[in-house]
Structure 1
Amino acid sequence: MSLLRAVATAFFAVQSVSAIFGPIGTNKPNLPGGSVANDQPPGTFFQGRSPPYPTSDWWAAYAASPNQDAIVGGPFPFQSRCLAIGFQYGISSSRDFDGTSLHQPSNMEWSASFVGHSGAAKDHKAASWDAQTVTVQYFSADSAMNVFNVPGSPYMTFNYTTAFPTFTSLSGKITNINAKTVTPGVITCESAVKYKIVTAGATYLLYSLRGAITLCTDKSNNPTLLTCQQRISGVMRMAKLVDVAHEATLDTYSSNYATGVTLDYTFPSTTSANLVFAWKVVGDANKLLMLSWPHHRCSLVSPNYLSSSVLSYLTTKGWMYPVLGAKWTMSYTLPTIDFNAPRAPHSSCKDDIVAAVAYEVGNLGTPPRPGDFYFWGGSVAAASRLALIADQVGRSDLVAKVVAYLTTTLGYWTDRSYTNVRAAYETAWGGIINKDGATNFWVDFGNGYYNDHHFHYGYFLSAAAVVAKYASNGLGTNNDFLSWLARDIANPSVGGDPYFPLTRHRDWMAGHSWASGIANGGGGRDQESVGEAVNGYYGVLLYATVTNNTNLRNYARLLIATEQQAAQTYWHLYPSMKSTDSLNPYPESNVRKLITMGNVYDWQAGAFLFWGSQRSEIAAIQILPVTPINEYMYDAEWTSNVLSYVGDELDDDDVDDAWKAVIYQAYGNGNPQKAMSLSSTLSSWGSGNSFSNQLYFIATRPNPSGNDICTSAQDGPTGTWVLQDVKTGKYVTSSSSRSNLVTDTTTAGLAASFTLASVPGGTTIQANATKQFVTADQSGNYTLAASRDSASAWEIFSFQLQSGSSVGYTIVARSNKKFITLNGDGALMPSASSASAATVFRLVT
């Protein structure tokens, strides 16, 4: 190793970020799955370093296997590619909208290197990184180039040490340098401190901060290479000139550059936080030129803006506008909600909630044996809310059963004899994964490749926090395991935790999290479910609350506040916003008419999902899971727009009620009465929700009108009855010898007696003579029959009182959402499409 390389390595080995909070913990994870190495370890990019490494940062692909060659979105406004042969970068020159997605495809325009670099992977590496930036070093025995990748800088900055810099155009031949025509086949040289370089594809400005240098083109018939004729030690910067009106601004501030950033945060009050970016600057810190995105402009305190007319770049996240100064302070209002809604359920709903939670707790069944992270987590977190709801409505006697259920199922994760699914510590990058996923991307949505950890572990933490809230021994034997999960997704410390990186999924400059990990070369950051990202940090908040960790609680609240702001900026779309509004990330009006982004990438955003295309699915995945913390995120304008936009699907019986349920809950934040009425048509709520939670959330919404939220009309009849067809006067019969329900007698004494009971989603009908429950098939082709020992989805019905009547009911089968009608033989069939075609029944005691 040369002296130059040794010195550079020693200098850049120090990470430069410091957070005000220390680590959650520092003990080594000791899990039932032991330790395992991912089959896509980082390449030589991290040479000389040891884990933990960032896995979801915008630049993760610089290190990700197999080839460390994926294009990344950043450092914005640039996109880049960290290749062994040189550092490539460019700014997207096209933007299109295909009716579903907005795209800004990658556009690599230049490659930077120096003469004598080997082009081998081993001769470039990460020199340093922090909460936003990464410095990449290319080196040889006697030369080096450090690339300061600083998101928000309109310049790419290169610091050379005793090197002959080279810049290669990737967007066609170089045609002009400083107004001098470049003739193919002839070497063209120019000596200057500033170069205006025109290629076939773009115009760039290149600045030499160490004084005048001489650049020469190559002699080819397609000249693309610029080579510095002096061996220099100094900084060169390059910026894309997209508008001639921007040149003066880029010239004025080109001599001041950032090499990194320090992340800081303060909490001036119990309800506020300041997030601070302090860039490390060479030059005049007051004249550091940076670029802001819409979410920054929502929160910046006393920013020194320049006019957007003097500099701007359009990115996937909207226009980046210029701000002067090396320190940004952004102010946020923090959530004050934790386990429960900030108001009690409305009195009109309390009895319904009590009945619902008693039923659902009573039917929890055997605690599940986990077989995966994600689906187990969602269902168990939903079950945990039953304890909270029961406690809120005065049924604390139900809490112990839920806690016992949760304790048992959580216990499998620390049981070393349990092998259906095992958590393990992954050693190549540093984190908790599903052990089976270390070598199989398809396990748990790529969990072993660091996809979606905040989605998964938030559910674990939420459920465990409920146990700790009520159990006398708190987290008990799960304490370490849960601490490791919290550290995996919400470590607030840089360098203080030897096993986990800083807040794994969070991109502090982008203002939200990326769900992507290191799979498939780590290219293309994206996040599909912003609702589950919020829930990840909500789980940390609840964990911090029960462990009395005030610092972590505040940090989680900041993560929630910023993620929810990003949701309302980049995932929620508002047709009412003006295209010229500086807070609008999507100036195209047709984009905003989509109402909800299903996926936000670093290079595209659109109303699509990896697994579904229904509008209700796209909206619902940004809403769920519905917990009290999302009161802040479900604003009335967006939820009202969602209800209208997905309206046709909400009326479609083939669309899963699980999606409708969460849409109605979110809508309840602005109109709880209508939301509750809509919810009364549902028969299922999804594995991450429950009937109790459906009622509870809507019943605890702001209610400025003061009107009842729940009404008696939404409650079905209960008790023992016989059913009579109002039109013919005939009664319904059924018996052990003929289980089908048929109207075939005018004698009340021969009618079958049924017990109607309220259950989540409607009413069950049980034949008293046989104790069998009435069932309805989904096809609508078969007669209702009293033939089931127990009731599930096909045995639930909705009794709807006819307008203006006190005795006449139509009946809807929840199995297919069809009304009950009579065929020619008087048999009850679940086949009518509307109430007008349905049979009206009288309930007779």
Structure 2
Amino acid sequence: MHKSLSSFPAIDNTAAPNPPPFFAQNLLRRPLPTNAAWQNFVLKKGNQPEYFHPYLVQSENGALTVCYPARVVHPAFIFQAFVANLSISCAPSGAHTLTSFDDLSLTLELPGPLRVPLVRGSPYITCIVEGGDLKFSTIHAVLNVSSSNDSTKHKIQFNNGQTWLVYSSALLKLNSDLSVSGSFQGVLRLALLSDKFDQVTDEKEQILDRFSTCYPISAQVDLAAPFRICYKWEKKGWGDLLMLSHSVHRHIMTVPADDSVIPEFIYRSMDGDLVGIVGDSWVLEETHIPINWHSIEGFESRKGKKAVVSALEHDVADLNPIGTTSTYFYGKAIARAARLALIAEEANCHSLIPRIREFLEQSITPWLDGTFVGNGFVYDKKWGGLISKNGAQDSGADFGLGVYNDHHYHFGYFCYAIAVLAKLDQNWARSFKPQVYSIVKDFMTVNPEEGVLYTRLRNFDLWKLHSWAGGLTEFADGRNQESTSEALNAYYSAALLGLVYEDTNLIGIGSTLAALEMRSAVAWWHVPLNSTVYESEFVQENRIMGVLWANKRDSGLWFAPAEWRECRLGIQLLPILPITELLFADVGFVKQLVEWTVPALSREGVGEGWKGFVYALESMYDKDSALQKVKALKGYDDGNSLTNLLWWIYTRGNKHTRPVVPGDCLPVPVQADRHCDLYNLLLSFKESTQLELQRLAAEIQELKKYCQFPAQ
């Protein structure tokens, strides 16, 4: 489908399915999304529901079915059940075609034809009827249908306690059994007015009436300026556009002067309350975060640095050839070694760096020049993406890399190690720049029109503002992601590559997505005792998420049961990096999380590596206790080391003892002109330089205690 201009050889990916017939022909000329929020519509039969907040939407047998789902709450999970509340069709059967898609929407064409622009966060479902025999149906008993005098507004009451509104751009003769008399062509808008959990109010109905005549058909997201995200909807009809926002939107939204928020207009969702916003464009201003190679405050004492250097010498001496061909575990291994190099820099132990640099070069180069034995990177012409040789032949190999599972996890580790090696060896960096950019662009391409290789932001969801990891696999509950910390590592590492290659665009996009991923992790993966996002039954039993789905919250993990709490903590923490300081900045929550996890450590067979992650967080409020436990460990996670754990513990400064406002894990926003890419880049460099100078001054003061300087 796509000619290979990649730096890696093209391959026929037999593990992944062919792009299905649901895609319109014009869409097949570019790389296709492999992890979109609507991916179920183009997998297998295309009939699994997808979640378009606040509705679950299904397309099957020529009909579009809309559900405003009830929330099922259990101490171990929360999910929303799909029920066929209201269906619409213009033909007795047939499949849909996906005719267009963008960052926040897609358009389905059903037989009839019936065109449906599905826009995420719309309180209405819009259907453009262009022909056919219009029909409505439901699985519920219809209690009442009432219509306006001009038959352009219809109120339908079901026996399940729900009341729906149907607006029509022309006369619609809707009977009490939902049959339609005569023909209809025009625009229909469906919206839930109330259900048994949310009683009808005159005010809500008036709001729906007022904004029913303006509908969105597509949208775009502009990421041109760092830490600034702009939504822009294309609309039709007349009047103002009404959309719904989730809590992360509202936390970073720049509200216009006329105050467009309608706080009383609320729909519930899997992600908390959705609140009405009037306007066809939004500006989201994310907080500036520093992208640092080293810890924010440096070593707190000479004693701590000495302990780290001792561990570092041992870990560097133990660097041996990596004994796996798995892209995931190999990536973790080289990233672990890269951490040793940066810790050596921070500890001024430069004599060890050449050995680490040699190890990284010998370990990474074969993946880039095609000489790695047993695996390697190849370009998939079928879907347009970078995969592994093994993944191209076996859908289960490399954790499903060939079917586009976990791309940002695997390539994120490679990007981190590559960034460190490129920092240490500029000649190597220049020699392999094309291959390096092929890796990072697989999951970080922003403007696919500039090339034909990769889809736009393969994993990152620009409406939810975090990543998905599921790939080309159909799931009843939609997309999912387990480890937000590994997603964060991917975008952080991309920004580090931007620093090495002096690529302001890559720095800006990487740091912006990292900041958004962190904010979403705190909002939806972290579960503090005072959480209002989730019900008390779930909050009482959970401090952190297992797997987060589009339509479900699960305490279980892909690789472990919910009772293995140390695994749940660890998979949302690893790898431990300088940016982890921002992800877990709320020490009050950290203490809750550790205390919730510790009882699980008494279980027989708990891995030493998982214990290390628990103790790392414990060190944020009880350093002495955590230090003794870390020193007693007999092993470490394959992406971690004693050096890294000690570095973490001995770089916890006083700022880590003060509580952070829950949900506000990031620093104070930069008060500056965010439209200027250069300003943000220089600001990042300035902050990094200031930190380095502060660290150097502290080290000089420490040395003065032990050295006698001659009189001037």
TM-score norm. by structure 1 comes to: 0.72
- Which of 249, 261, 271 is matched with 1:317 structurally? 271
| Structure 1 residue 675 displacement after superposition | 3.5
- Which of 39, 48, 51 is matched with 1:60 structurally? 39
- Which of 234, 250, 259 is matched with 1:297 structurally? 250
* Cross-structure match for 1:261: 219
* Cross-structure match for 1:85: 62
- Which of 337, 343, 348 is matched with 2:291 structurally? 337
Deviations 1:813-837 (A, max 9, x none): xxxxxxxxxxxxxxxxxxxxxxxxx
Structure 1's 705 and 317: CA in aligned 2 closer, same or farther, altered over 3 A?
closer
| Structure 1 residue 598 displacement after superposition | 1.0
Q: Does the 8 Å CA contact 2:477/2:552 hold for their aligned counterparts?
A: no
Give structure 2 stretches of 5+ with no counterpart: 658-712
| Matched residue type, 1:351 | K
Q: Does 1:633 align with 2:583?
A: yes
Structure 1's 487 and 266: CA in aligned 2 closer, same or farther, altered over 3 A?
closer
* Cross-structure match for 1:20: none
Paired with 1:648 and 1:98, the residues of 2 have a C-alpha distance of 22
Structure 1's 527 and 355: CA in aligned 2 closer, same or farther, altered over 3 A?
same
Paired with 2:503 and 2:618, the residues of 1 have a C-alpha distance of 34
Q: Does 1:622 align with 2:572?
A: yes
Structure 1's 39 and 607: CA in aligned 2 closer, same or farther, altered over 3 A?
closer
Q: Does 1:586 align with 2:534?
A: yes
- Cα RMSD (Å): 2.5
* Cross-structure match for 1:192: 151
Deviations 1:578-623 (A, max 9, x none): xxxxxx3214364255111111111211321121121111111111
Q: Does the 8 Å CA contact 1:575/1:593 hold for their aligned counterparts?
A: no
* Cross-structure match for 1:201: 160
Matched ranges for 1:230-629 at <5 A: 230-242=183-195, 243-245=199-201, 246-265=204-223, 267=225, 273-283=227-237, 287-302=240-255, 304=259, 306=261, 308-309=263-264, 311-347=265-301, 348-365=303-320, 367-368=321-322, 370-520=324-474, 524-577=478-531, 584-588=532-536, 590-591=538-539, 593-613=541-561, 614-629=564-579
Deviations 1:425-458 (A, max 9, x none): 2222221112332353321222111111111110
* Cross-structure match for 1:42: 19
Q: Does the 8 Å CA contact 1:636/1:667 hold for their aligned counterparts?
A: no
Q: Percent identity?
A: 26
Q: Does the 8 Å CA contact 1:573/1:593 hold for their aligned counterparts?
A: no
| Structure 1 residue 628 displacement after superposition | 0.5
Which one has the bigger strand percentage?
A: 1
| Structure 1 residue 412 displacement after superposition | 2.3
| Matched residue type, 1:193 | T
Structure 1's 495 and 240: CA in aligned 2 closer, same or farther, altered over 3 A?
farther
Paired with 1:205 and 1:445, the residues of 2 have a C-alpha distance of 43
* Cross-structure match for 1:226: 179
| Structure 1 residue 679 displacement after superposition | 2.1
Paired with 2:471 and 2:113, the residues of 1 have a C-alpha distance of 30
| Structure 1 residue 358 displacement after superposition | 1.1
* Cross-structure match for 1:783: none
| Structure 1 residue 670 displacement after superposition | 4.6
* Cross-structure match for 2:106: 134
Deviations 1:223-255 (A, max 9, x none): 5x5336224133444435333113222222211
* Cross-structure match for 1:700: 651
Deviations 1:5-41 (A, max 9, x none): xxxxxxxxxxxxxxxxxxxxx9722425634354412
| Matched residue type, 1:274 | R
| Matched residue type, 1:624 | L
Structure 1's 543 and 113: CA in aligned 2 closer, same or farther, altered over 3 A?
same
- Which of 654, 657, 660 is matched with 2:608 structurally? 657
Paired with 1:455 and 1:300, the residues of 2 have a C-alpha distance of 29
Structure 1's 525 and 283: CA in aligned 2 closer, same or farther, altered over 3 A?
same
Structure 1's 411 and 469: CA in aligned 2 closer, same or farther, altered over 3 A?
same
Structure 1's 191 and 438: CA in aligned 2 closer, same or farther, altered over 3 A?
farther
Q: Does the 8 Å CA contact 2:243/2:278 hold for their aligned counterparts?
A: yes
Aligned-partner SS, 1:45 = coil
Residue-pair matches, total: 642
Q: Does 1:156 align with 2:125?
A: yes
Structure 1's 85 and 313: CA in aligned 2 closer, same or farther, altered over 3 A?
same
Deviations 1:520-555 (A, max 9, x none): 368621111111111111221122221111111111
- Which of 49, 68, 71 is matched with 1:71 structurally? 49
Q: Does the 8 Å CA contact 2:8/2:377 hold for their aligned counterparts?
A: yes
* Cross-structure match for 2:675: none
From the CA coordinates, give the structure whose radius of gyration is larger: 1
Q: Does the 8 Å CA contact 1:291/1:321 hold for their aligned counterparts?
A: yes
| Matched residue type, 1:563 | E
Paired with 1:616 and 1:360, the residues of 2 have a C-alpha distance of 25
* Cross-structure match for 1:120: 94
Structure 1's 603 and 244: CA in aligned 2 closer, same or farther, altered over 3 A?
same
Aligned-partner SS, 1:542 = helix
Aligned-partner SS, 2:154 = strand
Paired with 1:28 and 1:698, the residues of 2 have a C-alpha distance of 45
